[in-house]
């Protein structure tokens, strides 16, 4: 009996030691796996507020901007005054006039640079602010709702944990978390919503650690800069500064107590309480939070801050509208800084916004289809500046999109072809037939088609170019000889399929080129045309200058009044079924190529899209609303 008792004691001690060893190994494994290094980087990162130096942007006298554009842009700057106060100051100083939602610049003035987007994800916005810039209504309100003993505990709240354990035992599952704000922060930074004992232990260890390393103010600062506040306008909203902008179009210091209660309510579950889909839940939650904070004397009992049903409905309507049109998308996405070589920050915003607006309108018409836009802009007279390339599909590789992907070019080759005609003694005033005809090719009978109807029997060569007729191109090429045109065109287009007489449709745009090649082609064309003009000063015999009157060319029905009397080279292009839509332009300074089109497997569907109604519209909006005076076409910079 004695032996067996000793034996049992040894077994118990052995089992106990094994359990301790296993427990120690388990804790070592948990601690070994904890992201202490990342935690250190997060806490250090909050102290970095110095941003890359970006100059203020000059809005030039004699130009204009859209009121809504400037207002949205101003929201994302570090300007201290409100937009309305700033606007009134500019009006008092007689620097601007405001008329029909447009601002006319009467005297030069600067707009501030945008704040830095510190979020590392692609579709995300975050701007970190220090604790002193976070209104107390937020951190007091959050403590009052989520963690009333925050200022007293050491990272975990033993009373809350005990209450949670009792509740979990009652329902026989992990239902109550008992999490402090510190634990919520740790979970937001490093863990998922998975409920497990191992994750909870890690969370507790890290919470105690961070409370030991940081002050309560530091923890609150990190929390309000890092916490996820949902998704709006296709952007993940991270941090209190971003939440104020996206939900209320206000800077954080302008938020009212009731709006603060709404934002605090959203933290309970940004998707569950989303104003896009669950406005009733959010309204009920916000009222509870607001009333609770009044009871805790964190908020004053002020009824004027409360929202009526109409205010809730109006706010939801604005949120839904902005979620569809995405006005903040262009201010938050794409950190590419190459644009700085040739344009300012405000110009870059206007370009992206207009592209986004155009794609939204197209995709609204053709639901479920994938469209994209690409832009190349450069300054040929200053090659050292290089070019800027923008691709709307920012998640894809830009280099491949511009150098490897090829699109049918449509009519944008015609200025180059007409330049060859003029070089070979074709005169702009010569007559050319527009009548239908057939060519007999090895592949069969081919007849060039016209997009226009009711054409006269013949037109001048200049009219044929200006109106982008098809048959005159083939007629003129045939009269000079396809071999001559082929030899001349190969200098611009080495990829031309030969013999040209068997592939004449290339002259009308069946050729496929990458955007880089189109830009290179037009750079050579522009230099040749300007060299010829500087030698002769003859605008009438130049394809460049014949297409410099927008009130006469293919854009005459869509060009705005403010641009119609200006002088700039522009050529639209559209491929069959509207898959590829182009606008190439030169304003005396910028040379640019804009492409808007379908991306995906072509199924033969026809899209009623044209270069004049897509790519040109992007050009027109950009140059009208960027806050710079328009350049006039000139070759002087190439002297």
Q: What is the pLDDT of residue 613?
A: 96
Q: Which fold has domain 410-505?
A: Beta-lactamase (3.40.710)
Whether 473 shows a pLDDT value over 90: the answer reads: yes
Whether 231 shows a pLDDT value over 50: the answer reads: yes
In sequence order, what are the residues at sequence separation of 6 or more whose Cβ sits closer than 8 angstroms to the Cβ of residue 373?
355, 358, 359, 390, 391, 392, 594, 595, 596, 615, 618
How far is the CA of 442 from the CAs of 68, 445, 446, 507, in angstroms? 58, 8, 10, 17
**Average pLDDT of the chain, as a whole number:** 88
Q: What is the pLDDT of residue 170?
A: 61
Q: Which CATH number fits domain 117-328: 1.10.3810.10, 3.90.25.10, 1.10.150.20, 3.40.50.460?
A: 1.10.3810.10
Q: What is the pLDDT of residue 3?
A: 53
> In whole angstroms, what is the distance from residue 141 CA to residue 264 CA?
7
Confidence band, pLDDT 50/70/90 cuts, at residue 277: very high
> In whole angstroms, what is the distance from residue 381 CA to residue 590 CA?
9
> In whole angstroms, what is the distance from residue 459 CA to residue 585 CA?
25
* Pairwise pLDDT comparison (210 vs 438), residue with the higher score: 438
The predicted-structure confidence for 338-353, as pLDDT tens digits, reads as follows 888 899 999 999 999 9
Q: What is the pLDDT of residue 437?
A: 95
Q: What is the pLDDT of residue 51?
A: 47
Task: Please work out, in degrees rounded to the nearest 5, the angle formed at the alpha carbon of residue 423 by the alpha carbons of 486 and 447.
Answer: 45
Average pLDDT over residues 486-508: 96
* Pairwise pLDDT comparison (26 vs 501), residue with the higher score: 501
Q: What is the pLDDT of residue 37?
A: 60
Q: What is the dihedral of CA 338, 340, 344, 345, to 10 degrees?
A: 60
Average pLDDT over residues 229-239: 95
Q: Are 315 and 262 in contact (CB under 8 A)?
A: no
The predicted-structure confidence for 535-570, as pLDDT tens digits, reads as follows 998 898 999 999 999 999 999 999 999 999 999 999
Q: What is the pLDDT of residue 130?
A: 92
Whether 174 shows a pLDDT value over 60: the answer reads: no
0.85 cut: is pTM over it? yes
Least confident of 15-29, 213-227, 446-460, 598-612: 15-29
CATH number for region 334-409+511-639: 3.40.710.10
Whether residue 417 has a cis bond before it, omega within 30° of 0: no
């Amino acid at each position: 009996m004695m032996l067996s008792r000793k034996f049992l004691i040894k077994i118990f001690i052995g089992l106990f030691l094994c359990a301790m060893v296993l427990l120690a190994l388990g804790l070592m494994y948990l601690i070994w796996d904890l992201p202490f290094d990342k935690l250190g980087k997060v806490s250090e990162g909050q102290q970095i507020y110095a941003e890359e130096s970006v100059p203020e942007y000059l809005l030039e006298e004699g130009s204009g901007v859209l009121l809504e554009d400037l207002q949205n842009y101003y929201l994302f700057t570090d300007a201290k005054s409100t937009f309305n106060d700033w606007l009134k100051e500019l009006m008092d100083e007689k620097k601007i006039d405001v008329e029909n939602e447009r601002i006319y610049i009467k005297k030069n003035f600067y707009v501030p640079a945008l704040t830095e987007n510190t979020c590392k994800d692609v579709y995300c916005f975050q701007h970190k602010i220090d604790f002193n810039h976070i209104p107390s209504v937020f951190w007091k309100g959050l403590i009052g709702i989520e963690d009333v003993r925050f200022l007293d505990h050491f990272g975990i709240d033993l009373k809350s944990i005990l209450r949670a354990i009792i509740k979990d035992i009652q329902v026989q599952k992990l239902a109550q978390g008992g999490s402090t704000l510190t634990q919520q922060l740790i979970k937001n930074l490093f863990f998922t919503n998975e409920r497990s004992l191992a994750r909870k232990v890690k969370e507790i260890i890290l919470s105690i650690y961070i409370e030991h390393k940081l002050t309560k103010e530091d923890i609150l600062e990190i929390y309000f800069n890092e916490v996820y506040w949902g998704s709006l306008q296709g952007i993940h909203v991270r941090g209190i500064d971003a939440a104020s902008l996206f939900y209320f179009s206000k800077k954080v210091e302008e938020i009212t107590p009731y709006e603060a209660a709404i934002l605090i309510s959203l933290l309970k579950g940004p998707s569950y309480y989303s104003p896009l889909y669950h406005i009733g839940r959010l309204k009920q939650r916000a009222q509870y939070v607001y009333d609770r904070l009044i009871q805790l004397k964190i908020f004053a009992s002020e009824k004027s801050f409360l929202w009526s049903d109409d205010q809730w409905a109006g706010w939801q309507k604005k949120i839904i509208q902005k979620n569809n049109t995405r006005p903040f998308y262009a201010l938050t996405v794409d950190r590419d800084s190459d644009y700085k070589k040739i344009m300012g920050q405000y110009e870059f915003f206007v370009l992206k916004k207009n592209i986004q607006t155009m794609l939204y309108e197209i995709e609204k018409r053709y639901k479920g289809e994938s469209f994209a836009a690409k832009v190349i802009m450069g300054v040929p007279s200053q090659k050292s500046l290089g070019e800027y390339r923008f691709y709307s599909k920012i998640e894809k590789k830009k280099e491949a999109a511009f150098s490897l992907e090829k699109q049918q070019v449509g009519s944008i080759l015609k200025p180059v072809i007409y330049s060859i005609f003029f070089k070979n003694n074709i005169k702009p005033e010569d007559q050319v037939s527009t009548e239908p005809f057939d060519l007999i090719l090895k592949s069969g009978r081919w007849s060039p088609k016209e997009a226009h109807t009711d054409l006269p029997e013949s037109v001048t060569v200049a009219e044929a170019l200006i109106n982008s007729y098809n048959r005159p191109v083939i007629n003129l090429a045939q009269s000079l000889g396809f071999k001559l045109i082929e030899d001349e065109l190969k200098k611009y287009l080495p990829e031309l399929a030969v013999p040209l007489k068997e592939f004449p449709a290339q002259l009308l745009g069946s050729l496929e080129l990458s955007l880089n090649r189109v830009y290179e082609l037009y750079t050579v064309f522009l230099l040749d045309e300007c060299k010829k003009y500087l030698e002769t000063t003859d605008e009438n015999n130049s394809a460049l200058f014949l297409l410099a009157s927008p009130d006469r060319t293919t854009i005459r029905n869509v060009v705005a009044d403010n641009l119609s009397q200006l002088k700039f080279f522009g050529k639209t292009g559209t491929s069959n079924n509207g898959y590829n839509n182009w606008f190439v332009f030169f304003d005396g300074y910028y040379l640019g190529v804009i492409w808007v089109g379908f991306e995906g497997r072509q199924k033969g569907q026809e899209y009623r899209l044209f270069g004049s109604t897509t790519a040109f519209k992007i050009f027109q909006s950009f140059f009208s609303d960027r806050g710079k005076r328009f350049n006039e076409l000139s070759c002087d910079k190439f002297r």
